[in-house]
Amino acid sequence: MKRLIVTLVMLLATAALAAGCGGSSGPTREIAVTMGPDMVFTPAEITGTVGETLLIRLTNADVTLEHDMVISAFGARVRLFAGQSGSMTVKLKKAGEFEVLCTLPGHTEAGMVGVLKVTK
């Protein structure tokens, strides 16, 4: 039994070390974004540079509606219930202007859109 515990501790320590050595090629920068109320992202524009990693901290400020934030060009999506907070990490691998959308029914059409501008 003691041997099993030692083995598990070593495996967990190895996994934690590997996670900490992720080989990131750019710095991580945090950005706070509020979802709602009134069907908006605040700020509506996020900027970054190729190679950068963004940690986007999200707060759904709506008291009744859930929202999501989707940046399909980078495969990123987070869905939050009213009043909930969460985050997403986006590795900026290419330059351009990319849509940021709330894809819940009617939200994009109501204007819940933004843009991610990535420069070289």
What confidence score (pLDDT) does residue 26 get?
63
As to burial, measured by CB atoms within 10 angstroms (0-12 exposed, 13-18 middle, 19+ buried), residue 91 is middle
The residue extents of the domains of the chain are: 26-119
Q: Give every residue of the chain whose pLDDT is below 50, as ranges.
A: 4-24
Task: Please work out, in degrees rounded to the nearest 5, the angle formed at the alpha carbon of residue 45 by the alpha carbons of 47 and 81.
Answer: 115
What confidence score (pLDDT) does residue 46 get?
98
Which tokens belong to 62?
A: 């709506």
Q: How far out from the chain centre does Cα 82 lie? A: 17
What confidence score (pLDDT) does residue 45 get?
98
Q: Strand, helix or coil at 55?
A: strand
Determine whether domain 26-119 maps to CATH 2.60.40.420: yes
